[in-house]
Amino acid sequence: MHETQRDSLINKVVLVTGAGAGIGKAIAERFAEVGGKVVVNDVNADGVDAVVAGITDGGGEAMGAVADVSNADEVQAMIDQTMAAHGRIDVLVNNAGLVSPMLHFFEADEAWWRRIIDVNLTGHFIVSHPTARIMAKQGGGVITNMSSGGATRAHRAFTAYDATKGGIEALTRAMALDLGPYNIRVNALMPGSIDTSGLDEDQRILRGENVPLGRIGEAADMTGAALFLASDDASYITGDVIRIDGGMLSQQRSATVDIKPPSDFPKVEDL
């Protein structure tokens, strides 16, 4: 990582939601690695404890904050806990999200729809609202939301999820406009296919074949862009979405069914 990026993140108070596992965990660990004071949020207390212990055992600074991002009272308690410990919040990564259960449109019901909207989309609002107020009072901050390729191109059996991700990209732009005058930058990350569920090797290869870079993503692949957006090197970037998807959204057809598949590409030794 570039030194100016690293330097601008030292001692920053960074709240990462849904950081008890997966992408959020990797982002929290990476911020701690560059000297951030990380607040590890998750609804799953065991996940929080494990991630905090991992960071502090490695010499980093972290505290846990168990809260459901869709519950305003629990979120306010988490913010109060963070402010009592650090007195400020410099960076918020709104990562918490429900990927499942996946249901076909005809299998779905209103309770399913509302729960996914509540956690994924309303959760972004509920955590950002008090946090942005604190950031405005302290002179600025950075909020990074978590979109998905589903915001642009749909997944089958993911109607509610994809709707939340489209909403998150629209929310990101709208927040960027309202919060820009308060020196708060708001952007989104857009992961492609990231293996956070421990796929077996055959599934990893299969999923990787449909990615232009030829492999499935890892949670660690998400961390560079998260740090960049929070750093001073991104000081003029707001309202934007960064795709971290190995090129997936750039392709019309997946590699396995394309007219000229990568297996027919010129061999390096023949160039």
Q: List residues with catalytic annotation.
A: 161
Identify each DSSP E strand in 101-161 by its residue range: 141-146
Residue 95 binds ligand NAD, judged by CB under 6 A = yes
Helix axes 159-179, 123-138, angle to 10 degrees: 20
User: Which position among 175, 194, 225, 229 is part of the footprint of ligand NAD (CB under 6 A)?
Assistant: 194
* Residue of 8, 82, 148, 210 that binds ligand NAD (CB under 6 A): 148
Which strands, in side-by-side order, build the sheet including 13-16?
61-66, 37-42, 13-16, 91-94, 141-146, 184-191, 241-244
Smallest distance, ligand NAD to C-beta of residue 183, A: 26
d(CA 22, CA 215): 17
Nearest approach, Cβ of 30 to ligand NAD (angstroms)?
Answer: 14
Q: How far is the CB of 267 from ligand NAD (least distance, A)?
A: 31
- Position 28 contacts ligand NAD (CB under 6 A): no
Asked if 70 touches ligand NAD (CB under 6 A), the answer is: yes
Least separation in angstroms between residue 96's CB and ligand NAD is 4
Considering the rule CB under 6 A, would residue 146 count as an interface residue with ligand NAD? yes
Which of 21-29, 129-137, 174-182, 235-243 is the region at the interface with ligand NAD (rule: CB under 6 A)?
A: 21-29
- Select the residue interacting with ligand NAD from 191, 210, 225, 246 (CB under 6 A): 191
Number of shown-chain residues binding ligand NAD (CB under 6 A) = 27
Count CB neighbours of 20 within 10 A: 25
Rounded Cα distance, 174 and 20, in Å: 28
Choosing from 29, 68, 169, 221, the residue that interacts with ligand NAD (CB under 6 A) is 68
Q: What φ, ψ does residue 127 adopt, rounded to 5°?
A: -80, -40
DSSP letter assigned to residue 120: I
Backbone angles phi, psi at 121, to 5 degrees: -95, -55
Number of H helices, E strands in the chain: 9, 7
User: Which residues would be at the binding site for ligand NAD (CB under 6 A)?
Assistant: 17-18, 20-24, 42-44, 47, 68-70, 95-99, 119, 123, 146, 148, 191, 193-194, 196
